[in-house]
């Protein structure tokens, strides 16, 4: 993989199984149990068994190590195990790692998973608490004394600048919230199933950190999600239609920090997303016009707008109108605002359902899905497509 040329990973691996626990605010069980439930469900969906698995990938923030999950799930020997850093930015990169292992022959069947009690246990939205000293943590130290203590406060800085620079209003953010909740309302798996909202509801929700309101912020969720990756050749003999990894990329921008990259030349975009976008378009040979559905990481609504602009779906400052016009089907599962906050892994599962034709909000003829991972941090992305 290079930021300067196309890579050759596309078309060599596919997602063949997806599985999840229920999404709740209090799971009542350990994170390890959630991980194992999701892994077993994904393998069953693929028509595979634990004995078929020889690779596991998860997030550095996960509390259930690969070898522990393997033991608890009945998986035997492993030839590949890996973890990706930077929180939600890792989501699509777990699939990239799995695809690289499969394409190179290091592993045959790799399961990517993420499981946490993020609502009943550690709540990421509560901000920096009891953090061990690290080099990257030192960057936060420049901002904490001024009251920038939580992810919402870090994003609010960029959101305020975006509105000022382009002469836009918070209703642009509301368009994203309304869209997500509309889709979640029709999704029985979503926490906000049957609970759509209006722009008026968005505008009436309480402030979290101006210009962000409560309905601009994603949920905090307990649950687990797993994905099974294998070769395209093997995928064709399995239970479900494969979602082929057309392209996969990671990206970190110049002067990158975790959520507090305030010393860049500007705050109205996401340079790390731009790195991912260039790699995905270059390696796949596709353009925004070729995408049938977008699953964009939506921990906070402003960053959905910036992602659309970085990927070239519309010009700078135009994404609010783009979303309002329903110019591209987005977050058809309800996103992390409407379905669940699983660090983006549930979004990848929805992209797979769109390729299979099994989404509750199915886009007719969907053959290519764009998926993004957490923004404001080093991030990743995928283009998934139908086989053939």
108: three-class secondary structure by DSSP:
coil
User: Residue 277 is encoded by which pair of tokens?
Assistant: 């976008």
Q: Cα–Cα distance between 283 and 301 in angstroms, integer?
A: 28
Residues in a beta bridge with 217:
300
Both tokens of 7, joined, read 């890579």
Catalytic (active-site) positions: 297, 341
Enumerate the β-bridge partners of residue 111.
Answer: 56, 228
* Cα-Cα-Cα-Cα dihedral sign, residues 103, 312, 112, 234: negative
Closest C-alpha among 381, 371, 388, 376 to residue 86: 376
Buried (b) or exposed (e) across 234-271, using 16+ Cβ within 10 A? bbeebebbbbbbbbbbbbbbeebbbbbbbeeeebbbbb
In angstroms, the Cα distances linking 32 to 110, 115, 116, 189, 344 are 18, 7, 8, 21, 19
- Distance separating alpha carbons of residues 172 and 176, to the nearest angstrom: 7
CB contact at 8 A, 47 and 103 = no
| CA gap 119, 127 in Å, rounded | 13
């Amino acid at each position: 993989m290079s930021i300067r040329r196309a890579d050759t990973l596309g078309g060599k691996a596919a997602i063949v199984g997806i599985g999840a626990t229920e999404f709740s605010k209090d799971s009542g069980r350990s994170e390890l149990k959630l991980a194992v439930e999701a892994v077993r469900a994904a393998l069953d969906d693929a028509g595979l068994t634990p004995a078929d698995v020889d690779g596991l990938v998860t997030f550095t923030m996960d509390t259930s190590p690969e070898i522990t999950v393997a033991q608890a799930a009945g998986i035997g020997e492993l030839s590949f195990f890996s973890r990706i850093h930077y929180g939600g930015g890792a989501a699509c990169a777990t699939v990239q790692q799995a695809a690289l292992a499969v394409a190179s022959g290091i592993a045959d069947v790799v399961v990517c998973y993420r499981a946490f009690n993020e609502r009943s246990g550690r709540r990421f939205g509560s901000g920096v608490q009891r953090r061990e000293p690290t080099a990257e943590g030192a960057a936060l130290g420049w901002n904490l004394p001024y009251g920038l203590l939580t992810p919402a406060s870090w994003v609010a800085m960029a959101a305020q600048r975006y509105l000022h620079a382009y002469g836009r209003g918070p209703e642009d953010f509301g368009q994203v919230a309304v869209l997500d909740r509309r889709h979640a309302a029709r999704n029985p798996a979503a926490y906000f199933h049957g609970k759509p909202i209006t722009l008026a509801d968005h505008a009436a929700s309480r402030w979290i950190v101006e210009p962000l309101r409560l309905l601009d912020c994603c949920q905090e969720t307990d649950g687990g999600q797993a994905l099974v990756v294998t070769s395209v050749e093997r995928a064709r003999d399995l239970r479900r239609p494969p979602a082929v990894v057309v392209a996969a990329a990671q990206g970190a921008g110049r002067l990158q920090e975790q959520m507090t990259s305030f010393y860049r030349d500007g705050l109205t975009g996401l340079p790390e997303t731009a790195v991912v976008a260039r790699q995905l378009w270059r390696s796949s040979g596709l353009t925004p016009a070729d995408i049938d559905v977008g699953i964009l990481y939506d921990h906070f609504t402003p960053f959905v707008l910036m992602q659309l602009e970085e990927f070239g779906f519309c010009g700078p400052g135009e994404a609010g109108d783009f979303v309002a016009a329903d110019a591209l089907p987005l977050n058809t599962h309800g996103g992390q605002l409407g379905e669940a906050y699983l660090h983006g892994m549930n979004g990848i599962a929805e992209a797979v359902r769109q390729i299979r034709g099994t989404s509750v909000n199915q886009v007719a003829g969907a053959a290519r899905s764009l998926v993004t991972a957490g923004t404001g941090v080093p991030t990743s992305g995928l283009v998934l497509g139908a086989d053939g």
